Amino acid sequence: MTGERDVSDALWWPHVLTGPCPDGPAPQIAGGPRRCIAASRLTRTGGLVAAPLADLPDAFRTARAPVAGLDLGTPRIMGVVNVTPDSFSDGGLFLEPDAALAQARTLIAEGADILDIGGESTRPGAETVATRDEIARVVPVIAAIRRHWNGPISIDTRKAAVAEAALAAGATILNDVSAMTHDPDMAAVAGRAGVPLCLMHARGDPATMQDDPRYDSVLFDVHAFLAERIKVAVAAGVAPGRIIVDPGIGFGKTPAHNLALMRGLATFHAFGCPILTGTSRKRFIGMLSGAAEARDRVPGSLATALYAVSQGVQIVRVHDVAETRQALALWTACETGEAS
Ligand code: HH2
C-alpha cells in the first residue's frame, strides 16, 4: 500500500494484457487474472516513456485481500439499489422499502456479488438529504436484505451517522463518494468499523461539481487526492488492506477527464488496493454516444465495465447486473477459451 508515495514526477503505467500470455516473466496485476508484459512511466506533460518491467513496484503485483469475504481473483459486480426519489437513472423506482427489497433480490438472483444501497443522490446538481431522512430510507432496506442474504452490503453515504446506522442494520462495506471529506466524523466511524472502505475521488459537491471542472492533470490530481485520503483513513485506524480506491467517474469531470481516467485505470494499481469503477449509465456515456436517456446507456455501460476489467479493475458498480454478468462471462470465455 503506497499512500506515502510521491506522485509529482511520473506515474507507473503497466500495459495490461488481454488474451493469451507469452511464456516468460509477465507479472500478474494485483495477483489477479491480468498480466502485463511491458511498463511505462507517464510524465505530467503526458509523455509515456518505456521503463523496465523488472522495476514495476510491488504494489502493482501483490494479491489484494478479499473484500468482505469476496476473493478478488475474479471481477466482482456491485449492484446498485438507490432508495431515492431523484437518482439520475432509477430515481423513484425503489423509494418504497418493498420495491427496494424486490430490486435487491432481483440483482442477487442476476448474480450481484455486492449490493450498494444509497439514500442520497449524488448526481450532478443534487441537493443534500437530511441525515434522518437518509437513515429512514436505507436502514429498513438493509435490514430486510440482511434477513434474506448473507452477502456483502455496502452503504453509499457521505454521512457518518448514516454509515453507523447502516452498519448496525447489517451493512458490511462503507462507500463514501467524498472519501471522508464531507463529514469530519466519517474517518472515526470507518476506523472503528473494521469493514472495507471505498474512497472515491470527487471534485466539489454534487450541487456544483459539473460547473466547469478543471485539473492540472486529471490523472495526477486524482492520484494525489487518493494518496492523501488513504493517509487520512490509515491515520484514523482503517487497515490498509481494507481500502478500495475509485477514480470517481462523472464526479466533477468533463467527458475528456473521464476518458483520461478510464484510459489510465491501470496506473491506480499503484496504491496496492482493489479498484472500483462506477460508469453505469452515466452522463458521459450519453454525451459520447448520443443516448440521451439513462436507461438507453446499457451498451455503453457494458463497454466501459469490460474496459475497466481489462485493466485489472476488481469491482464494477452497475445498475444492470444480468447484462454485466453475461458480458463478463463471454469476455472471460473468449479470453480463456473455456466455457465456464
Ligand atoms: N457513482 C454514483 C454513486 N455512488 N460510488 C462509487 N464508489 N463510485 C461511483 O462511481 C458512484 C458511487 C452515482 O450513481 P447512482 O448511485 O446510480 O446515481 P445517484 O447518485 O443519482 O443516486
Cβ 276 under 6 angstroms from ligand 1: yes
Cβ 113 under 6 angstroms from ligand 1: no
Q: Which atom of ligand 1 is the closest one to the Cα of 84? A: 22
Instruction: State which residues of the chain have pLDDT below 70.
Output: 1-8, 340
> Are residues 174 and 199 in contact, defined by beta-carbon separation less than 8 angstroms?
no
Task: Compute the distance between CA of residue 162 and CA of residue 181 in angstroms, rounded to an integer.
Answer: 15
What pLDDT does 24 receive?
75
Q: Which atom of ligand 1 is the closest one to the Cα of 278? A: 10
Q: How far is ligand 1, taken at its centre, from the CA of residue 331, in Å? A: 25
> Are residues 154 and 172 in contact, defined by beta-carbon separation less than 8 angstroms?
yes
Cβ 82 under 6 angstroms from ligand 1: yes
Cβ 178 under 6 angstroms from ligand 1: no
CB-count burial class (<10 Å; 0-12, 13-18, 19+) for 238: buried
What pLDDT does 208 receive?
79
Protein residue with least CA distance to atom 18, ligand 1: 87
The β-bridge partners of 67 are: 70
What pLDDT does 3 receive?
42
Cβ 279 under 6 angstroms from ligand 1: no
**CA-based nearest residue to 7, from 297, 188, 210, 225:** 225
Task: Compute the distance between CA of residue 280 and CA of residue 271 in angstroms, rounded to an integer.
Answer: 24
Q: Where are the beta strands (DSSP E) in the chain?
A: 10-17, 35-43, 48-51, 76-82, 114-118, 153-156, 173-176, 197-200, 243-246, 276-277, 315-318
Q: Which atom of ligand 1 is the closest one to the Cα of 156? A: 4
Q: How far is CA 263 from CA 40, 55, 257, in A?
A: 14, 22, 10
Task: Compute the distance between CA of residue 143 and CA of residue 18 in angstroms, rounded to an integer.
Answer: 40
Q: How far is CA 250 from CA 99, 152, 167, 200, in A?
A: 27, 25, 27, 11
**CA-based nearest residue to 249, from 177, 298, 183:** 177
Please state the length of the chain: 340
Q: Which residue from 87, 122, 258 has its CB within 8 A of the most atoms of ligand 1, so it is best to mutate?
A: 122
What pLDDT does 171 receive?
98
**CA-based nearest residue to 121, from 102, 108, 138:** 138
Q: How far is ligand 1, taken at its centre, from the CA of residue 155, in Å? A: 11
Cβ 198 under 6 angstroms from ligand 1: yes
Q: Which atom of ligand 1 is the closest one to the Cα of 206? A: 20
Tell me the whole-structure pTM to 2 decimals.
0.96
Cβ 172 under 6 angstroms from ligand 1: no
Cβ 95 under 6 angstroms from ligand 1: no
Active site residues: 282, 317
Q: How far is ligand 1, taken at its centre, from the CA of residue 138, in Å? A: 15
What pLDDT does 109 receive?
98
